[in-house]
Structure 1
Amino acid sequence: MSLRGGDPAEIGGYPLEERLGSGGMGTVFLARTSSGRPVAIKLIHQQFAGDDEFRIRFRQEVAAARRVSGAFTAAVVDAAPEAEQPWMATTYIEGPTLSQRITDQGPLNGAELRRLAIGLAEALRDIHRVGVVHRDLKPSNVVLSPEGPRVIDFGISRAVDQQTLTMTGRVIGTPPFMSPEQLQAPRGVGPRSDVFSLGTLLVYAATGHGPFDADSPYITAYQVVHEEPSLGAVPMALRAVVEPCLDKEPERRPSADELLVLLRDLPVELGESESEVGTGTGRSEAGRTRDMATQHHLTTPTDRTPTGPASTAPGASRTSSTASTESTGTAIGGRLRRRWRPVLAAAVAVAAIGGGVASLTTGGVGGNGADGRGGDAGRSTAAPAGTLPDGFEPWRRTVPGGREDIPDELRCVARGDALFCGGGGVVATRLDARDGSRVWTAKSPGVPVQGMHLVGATDDTVVGYRIADQDAPQGPPQEVVALDADSGRELWSAPSGAQSTAVTGRSMDAVVVGSAVVTVDASNSRFEARDAHSGEIAWTTPFPAGAQCAPVPVGQRLLAMCATEAEVDDLQVRRPTLRTLALDSGTYGGTVTVEGPVVPMGVADGRLVLLSKHYEGTAPAGYDGVARVDPATRKVTYSRLGRVYDGTPGMADGTLYVSGQTGLVTAFDAANGRKKWSRQTGVEGASGPAAGSGAVYFSSATGRVVALSPDDGKPLWTTDPQADGLTGQQNASPRVTVAGRALFVAADDNTLFAFDAQRPPRSS
């Protein structure tokens, strides 16, 4: 990747040759020493230079990397952690990461797998012998050099004799490769946590997937702590070594030295897996991975699981030894098309991490189109601007769902003195907006589905999703359910499809438009429109031949966004079509083709606004343009953003926003794509925006909220975290619901809290 405008010519006297990757915390460059030796330089972003906590962590990273420099890691060549813009140079290691290797060529086997296992065990032995715990051993932190595997990136490591640096409300790591103790008590993590991570990594190398994979990092984390690993596809000789590494109790796992002895006794050819012996077939789903991101200090788009076009990224085989990487997991469309296969049904999950956004029409519930102009589905009408509901007092509540053992998040919409919320284990619940007291709750018995929250509400009806219990497979796996707003009584239900994310990049298989609910049927073959309260079917309309579609509301209009089945199957939705869909009859109107891939954002001046996705090779790397579609004239206009912006996109009051993993928020004019302002905040992994009461609000899974001026991005106030949630995720729908001066905020573990926007909780 060539240098970009604004990149320095040299760092610390080392001339830069090219950019290897960039992420939330910094950028990695390829440079040369005076003798011509290649080095990888990690340059920390300027906005973190003044963050004392970050400087402490970076100093610890440099110290840990120096402490363990050896044959199986990247040696530190030079570093300046106290520089105005801190940096560190390490030896450059030529070769792909393990995640790139698996993605490109599928799982390892035989002698190659055995060499990897032994090499990683040797690396852990050396790391642990000098008293360091890596804490982030995962496929993107393993480089396959010609000399053998190298372990890189000590960004969240620590010395055993050192106080762990962990901020309140933040869990640091990567759930599919974290140990149970790291998820439950990160301050007490020891060397055998790395052994557990190595076990998960070897399963991934042998099968292309982790032993606890699920469609949500929340569910993955639950399975790491409580469930047995899935090892059926692991070669039996290797499985005998991996199983003790994955014991839930650290003291029952082997040490790195003991593990190395076990691995050296393995046969050169590891043989077949249990599943291959039983079925006579090889591994399926080879090469697929769910290396989900939580909170990283540096991510490189060159090392993500492909979700876009099938072209090869230039220089894809070159990976910096210091570039910590991030994968978005299963490619768009791929997971949902496989969602209800029996072997995966129990692994489907609801979370706002890495998932699609729910709907364009909702203010608190709805996707990133928080305009409040997209229909009645989620418009907040609790109080006029500048007022509070009568008798309102700040409150905090937790809403138990059908699966209380699984952490989840809700999304809400306010109407009058009622707050309706739903998501995951909760089809819907009604709370009193004034004090948070619960009026009624309808629970969902199954494992939540990622990104699916409350569908919306009308004056007398609330609509949500119900996921079937995995132990009752005879019913529909997923249903749209309508409830009476006053009593919570179920009015009707209908089986629902699960293909919209493949088309739009969002979970929006059902939408509320006016007094109608429009759904995708269970076979993903047609639209169905019902009266929201009675459930009476008004019309059904088949998808165009050879297409998969999703409903997209545009004010009181409805569009069908479609892609060919071939595009969906190949994960390459490059030219989606938009058709008007008459609300009274379901009749299709004229067709508009949009140059994609694009994601619907919301409505501005009667036009549908979409963001254009940018790819670097096969990896999605943010957004680089805006498209606007006029449904009346079928005219499409395009604007460029000037550069690529990575993060969670959203729209509020005609302004587009992209909030980065580390809290950088950038605002754009939706009419022309021009940048309005950019502001660094302290809210990592912020969800899409919500606007009202003279501010625009962003919030993370921890419940931390920041209020910014919509005019210039000036920070108005920030709250402290309210819950222990994962941070750094992307593409979460807005967690803040605005009703006059009242703000209702959703956080991890079904936590809801409310306060006066003019009197926010004081930040310490």
Structure 2
Amino acid sequence: MSLRGGDPEEIGGYPLEARLGSGGMGTVFLGRSASGRPVAIKLIHQQFADDDEFRIRFRQEVAAARRVSGAFTAAVIDADPEAQHPWMATTFIEGPTLAQRITEQGPFGGAELRRLAIGLTEALRDIHRAGVVHRDLKPSNVVLSPEGPRVIDFGISRAADQQTLTMTGRVIGTPPFMSPEQLQTPRGVGPRSDVFSLATLLVYAATGQGPFDADSPYMTAYQVVHEPPSLGEVPGALRAVVEPCLAKDPDDRPSADELLVRLRDLPSDLGGAAGAVIAGPRCTRETDTQHHLPADDATPAPTAPAPVAPAPTAVPDAAETGTPAPLGRRLRRRWRPALAAALAVAAIGGGVAVLRAGDSDGPGGGTGDQGQDIAAAGARLPGGFEPWRKTVPGGRADIPDELRCEARGDALFCGGGGVVATRIRLSDGSRVWTEKSPGVPMQGMHMVGVTDDTVLGFRLAAQDDPANPATEVVAIDADKGRELWSVQSGAQSTAVTNRTQDAVVVGTTVVTVDAANSRFEARRAHSGKVTWKQPFPAGRQCAPVTAGTRLYAMCAPRAELAATDVRHPDLRAVDLTSGSLGEPVAVRGPAVPVGTSGDSLVLLHERHEGPAMVGYDGVTRVDRDTDEATYTRLPKTYDGTPGMADGTVFVTGRTGLVTALDPATGRKKWSRQTGVEGLSGPVSGDGDGLLYFSSASGRVAALTSRKGEQRWSTNPRADGLAGEVGASARVSVEGSVVVVAAAKNTVFAFDATKPPKSG
């Protein structure tokens, strides 16, 4: 919908491109951030700008939206509730509303209905865990994004620990989806009012009608308070779960957590509602005022699988279905700050939903990866192992940090930022020794590597000691924890490879970049003896890249580096004995190394629109034997954090969509919505057929390697943000022990065959 005469050209410094919708409280516009990222900007109607009650409501909306910003809602980017014309900018969510989807395609049924129910309930659970009561759940406040349902519009929400705003006697809400207490005693509304509203949404999704529909809003409100719900057309299995949620007394309703458990126990295919019809004109007008595409601009998006639903179906690409990409997808830009800000869920207890062995894509069970369950015989644990969770103190306790870990038997070595390295017993989490770093942790700079007897890490100089080098590579005796040697290191690899990796370990050799960023230097890991030095080619800056046991120099013209526009990098094989460089192999840039397929190095090509990196649109394989580079264009641009395991490339979106790609053909193998935000990874399990992904908050998702079927996912274990964009894998696996590094130097371990239970 284009802008109209009289619409502003910009709000709060954000240029406006289109009008998304208008409702009773305000108008929502599509805007653009300075980096090119599309944003939804809600502008309060002028007649309410001087209304103190509506200003209070808007402040509440901004505060509530900030409090719950995460994987299932629209994150707040900017706001000014005190402006003469108050406004709020949030992430733009593409996709139709639930109301639009029902109008255009009719009710949900079968597995699609089950996934919608679980996805909405998980969203409500996380909203409540953040201490917020939404109070206005309705079809127009649910957006069906390609990555799953999103709950929006916190205009009349409140924090659970605050008094409800008295609106001079006004009843605020949408009667067909309001709870009895909202209509009778709005000051006493709590989280179980949202459960009631969610149940009315699920009835509406299953039948096209609400359970209390009547000819007028007054009759609807009467039926909500006094009459039983109309559930005759709701599938029987779902009805048994939904009916208790519609109890008149809030104390008789389950909590969102309890409802989620009941929904997960439902069969994979709920069936359809016989004779279900689309409701006629609703008694309450639901005007589209939210941050998504209006119906005439949007292609209906498939409802993504719930984060912990058994064997969810794959998410198709537009290229595979023939469906044009929605306008929102075409407009999307990559937001790449140092940290992708997302509010962590308030409850930090560990939890997991473990799927039954017989679950499959359809009724009656199935085959596929089901036989490769993580409870396979022969899984190994250190003697006396019990799950543990520890915090490793760093050199700067006031600065959040993340470690990365590598296990060798019962010895777990971790390092990063404020910790050069630490040794932890895998069996019980006790620390053997720790070497701290006094400097400020740098994003993406973690442990260099481990050999049989040596741990290599980075040490950052304290800011108040400029005489010391900014960065050093430090070798530490693996057994005793004493420093063996150190050397000044350059810190320019990110500009060349888009990874912070200025030193690598290959076998028992450590290769670093010298402090002047002019050459490679190779040393024996334990003794520090220099074995060779190799200057960079004239006019080029290089960084070390490993592919299995092979070392490459990835180099770029210094002029392109100075312009921060690396278009013509090359790769040269490095002889580990002499340091001599092979012939250059041209690579289409900018590119980031992601791993190996067989013995071939694999890189992803970055797509840029202006200065913004919007995703990955191509893959390059460099053959080990011939040193020839083969470039393949991907079928679409994939936005997210790259990784590689089992010869497959993975890209994980910020809200948990995992896509598996064949590095040889560029073909998509599978796509899976996990619902775990900010994932990085993957890491292969030890013979269990699983891939492990993890977020900075410590949430872990386990997917099968072949099809991406989700086995389980855990709750947060650390109070952290979503983590850096492009983060390296946070999980390491030793036997059946899964070790996870999370925000603020939190490290925890559990047995993959017995993941943490819920609650």
What range describes the TM-score normalised by the shorter chain of this pair?
A: 0.5 to 0.7
1:338-361 residue CA offsets vs partner (Å, 9 max, x unmatched): xxxxxxxxxxxxx8989xxxxxxx
Q: Secondary structure at the match of 2:584?
A: strand
2:255 matched to 1:328?
no
Q: How does 1:184-263 map to 2 (within 5 A)?
A: none
1:636 corresponds to which letter in structure 2? Answer: A
CA contact (8 A) 1:169 1:725 kept: no
Q: How does 1:301-380 map to 2 (within 5 A)?
A: 327-329=335-337
CA contact (8 A) 1:657 1:666 kept: yes
Aligned to 2:733: 738
Aligned to 1:706: 701
CA contact (8 A) 1:684 1:728 kept: no
Which of 574, 588, 591 aligns to 2:581? It is 588
In the alignment, the residues of structure 2 paired with residue 326 and residue 596 of structure 1 have an alpha-carbon distance, to the nearest angstrom, of: 18
Which of 419, 422, 428 aligns to 2:421? It is 428
Judged with a 3 Å threshold, the aligned counterparts in structure 2 of structure 1 residues 669 and 140 are, in CA distance, closer, same or farther, namely: same
Aligned to 2:572: 579
2:600 matched to 1:664?
no
Judged with a 3 Å threshold, the aligned counterparts in structure 2 of structure 1 residues 353 and 515 are, in CA distance, closer, same or farther, namely: farther
Aligned to 1:554: 547
Q: How does 1:14-413 map to 2 (within 5 A)?
A: 30=1, 77-78=21-22, 90=27, 92=29, 97=33, 128=55, 130-133=57-60, 134-135=62-63, 141=78, 151-153=87-89, 166=127, 327-329=335-337, 386-413=379-406
* Residue 77 of structure 1, CA deviation: 3.8
2:599 matched to 1:606?
yes
Q: Secondary structure at the match of 1:492?
A: strand
In the alignment, the residues of structure 1 paired with residue 723 and residue 52 of structure 2 have an alpha-carbon distance, to the nearest angstrom, of: 30
In the alignment, the residues of structure 2 paired with residue 642 and residue 74 of structure 1 have an alpha-carbon distance, to the nearest angstrom, of: 28
* Residue 604 of structure 1, CA deviation: 0.9
* Residue 690 of structure 1, CA deviation: 0.6
2:528 corresponds to which letter in structure 1? Answer: G
1:507 corresponds to which letter in structure 2? Answer: T
Aligned to 1:720: 715
1:700 corresponds to which letter in structure 2? Answer: S
**TM superposition score normalised by structure 2:** 0.57
In the alignment, the residues of structure 1 paired with residue 341 and residue 89 of structure 2 have an alpha-carbon distance, to the nearest angstrom, of: 23
In the alignment, the residues of structure 2 paired with residue 443 and residue 124 of structure 1 have an alpha-carbon distance, to the nearest angstrom, of: 55
Which of 479, 482, 486 aligns to 1:489? It is 482
* Residue 706 of structure 1, CA deviation: 0.7
Aligned to 2:441: 448
2:753 matched to 1:758?
yes
In the alignment, the residues of structure 1 paired with residue 50 and residue 26 of structure 2 have an alpha-carbon distance, to the nearest angstrom, of: 20
1:537 corresponds to which letter in structure 2? Answer: V
* Residue 656 of structure 1, CA deviation: 0.8
In the alignment, the residues of structure 2 paired with residue 720 and residue 652 of structure 1 have an alpha-carbon distance, to the nearest angstrom, of: 24
Aligned to 2:744: 749
CA contact (8 A) 1:483 1:489 kept: yes
In the alignment, the residues of structure 2 paired with residue 596 and residue 567 of structure 1 have an alpha-carbon distance, to the nearest angstrom, of: 11
Judged with a 3 Å threshold, the aligned counterparts in structure 2 of structure 1 residues 168 and 499 are, in CA distance, closer, same or farther, namely: farther
* Residue 579 of structure 1, CA deviation: 0.7
Q: How does 1:612-623 map to 2 (within 5 A)?
A: 612-623=605-616
Judged with a 3 Å threshold, the aligned counterparts in structure 2 of structure 1 residues 752 and 728 are, in CA distance, closer, same or farther, namely: closer
Q: Matched residue pairs, number?
A: 480
CA contact (8 A) 1:169 1:702 kept: no
**TM superposition score normalised by structure 1:** 0.57
Which of 479, 482, 496 aligns to 1:503? It is 496
* Residue 428 of structure 1, CA deviation: 0.3
2:645 matched to 1:652?
yes
CA contact (8 A) 2:448 2:504 kept: yes
In the alignment, the residues of structure 1 paired with residue 544 and residue 643 of structure 2 have an alpha-carbon distance, to the nearest angstrom, of: 18
1:702-750 residue CA offsets vs partner (Å, 9 max, x unmatched): 1110100111111111111111111275211111101111100111111
2:669 corresponds to which letter in structure 1? Answer: K
Aligned-pair Cα RMSD in Å: 4.2
Judged with a 3 Å threshold, the aligned counterparts in structure 2 of structure 1 residues 587 and 188 are, in CA distance, closer, same or farther, namely: farther
Judged with a 3 Å threshold, the aligned counterparts in structure 2 of structure 1 residues 353 and 493 are, in CA distance, closer, same or farther, namely: farther
1:756 corresponds to which letter in structure 2? Answer: D
Q: Secondary structure at the match of 1:590?
A: coil
CA contact (8 A) 1:403 1:447 kept: yes
Judged with a 3 Å threshold, the aligned counterparts in structure 2 of structure 1 residues 165 and 548 are, in CA distance, closer, same or farther, namely: same
CA contact (8 A) 2:389 2:748 kept: yes
* Residue 594 of structure 1, CA deviation: 0.7
2:510 matched to 1:517?
yes
Unaligned runs of 5+ in 1: 1-29, 41-64, 66-71, 81-87, 102-118, 157-162, 172-185, 191-296, 300-318, 331-350, 355-382
Judged with a 3 Å threshold, the aligned counterparts in structure 2 of structure 1 residues 728 and 469 are, in CA distance, closer, same or farther, namely: closer
Unaligned runs of 5+ in 2: 38-45, 67-74, 93-123, 133-158, 164-290, 294-326, 343-375
Aligned to 1:115: none
Which of 628, 649, 668 aligns to 1:675? It is 668
Aligned to 1:685: 678
Judged with a 3 Å threshold, the aligned counterparts in structure 2 of structure 1 residues 169 and 611 are, in CA distance, closer, same or farther, namely: farther
Structure index of larger Rg: 2
Judged with a 3 Å threshold, the aligned counterparts in structure 2 of structure 1 residues 148 and 638 are, in CA distance, closer, same or farther, namely: farther
Aligned to 2:471: 478
In the alignment, the residues of structure 1 paired with residue 637 and residue 510 of structure 2 have an alpha-carbon distance, to the nearest angstrom, of: 36
CA contact (8 A) 2:35 2:612 kept: no
2:541 matched to 1:540?
no
In the alignment, the residues of structure 1 paired with residue 18 and residue 546 of structure 2 have an alpha-carbon distance, to the nearest angstrom, of: 51
In the alignment, the residues of structure 2 paired with residue 717 and residue 165 of structure 1 have an alpha-carbon distance, to the nearest angstrom, of: 17
In the alignment, the residues of structure 1 paired with residue 401 and residue 292 of structure 2 have an alpha-carbon distance, to the nearest angstrom, of: 27
Judged with a 3 Å threshold, the aligned counterparts in structure 2 of structure 1 residues 544 and 170 are, in CA distance, closer, same or farther, namely: farther
CA contact (8 A) 1:440 1:488 kept: yes
In the alignment, the residues of structure 1 paired with residue 50 and residue 492 of structure 2 have an alpha-carbon distance, to the nearest angstrom, of: 43
1:24-59 residue CA offsets vs partner (Å, 9 max, x unmatched): xxxxxx4589xx99999xxxxxxxxxxxxxxxxxxx
In the alignment, the residues of structure 2 paired with residue 705 and residue 139 of structure 1 have an alpha-carbon distance, to the nearest angstrom, of: 25
CA contact (8 A) 2:340 2:721 kept: no
In the alignment, the residues of structure 2 paired with residue 587 and residue 170 of structure 1 have an alpha-carbon distance, to the nearest angstrom, of: 60
2:627 matched to 1:634?
yes
* Residue 140 of structure 1, CA deviation: 6.6
1:138-193 residue CA offsets vs partner (Å, 9 max, x unmatched): 997589xxx9998443579xxxxxx997565999xxxxxxxxxxxxxx98899xxx
* Residue 590 of structure 1, CA deviation: 1.1
CA contact (8 A) 2:76 2:88 kept: no
* Residue 558 of structure 1, CA deviation: 0.6
* Residue 131 of structure 1, CA deviation: 4.6
Q: Secondary structure at the match of 2:397?
A: coil
Alignment identity in percent?
54
Judged with a 3 Å threshold, the aligned counterparts in structure 2 of structure 1 residues 140 and 748 are, in CA distance, closer, same or farther, namely: closer
* Residue 326 of structure 1, CA deviation: 6.4
2:543 corresponds to which letter in structure 1? Answer: A
Judged with a 3 Å threshold, the aligned counterparts in structure 2 of structure 1 residues 674 and 99 are, in CA distance, closer, same or farther, namely: closer
Q: Secondary structure at the match of 1:567?
A: helix
In the alignment, the residues of structure 1 paired with residue 292 and residue 449 of structure 2 have an alpha-carbon distance, to the nearest angstrom, of: 37
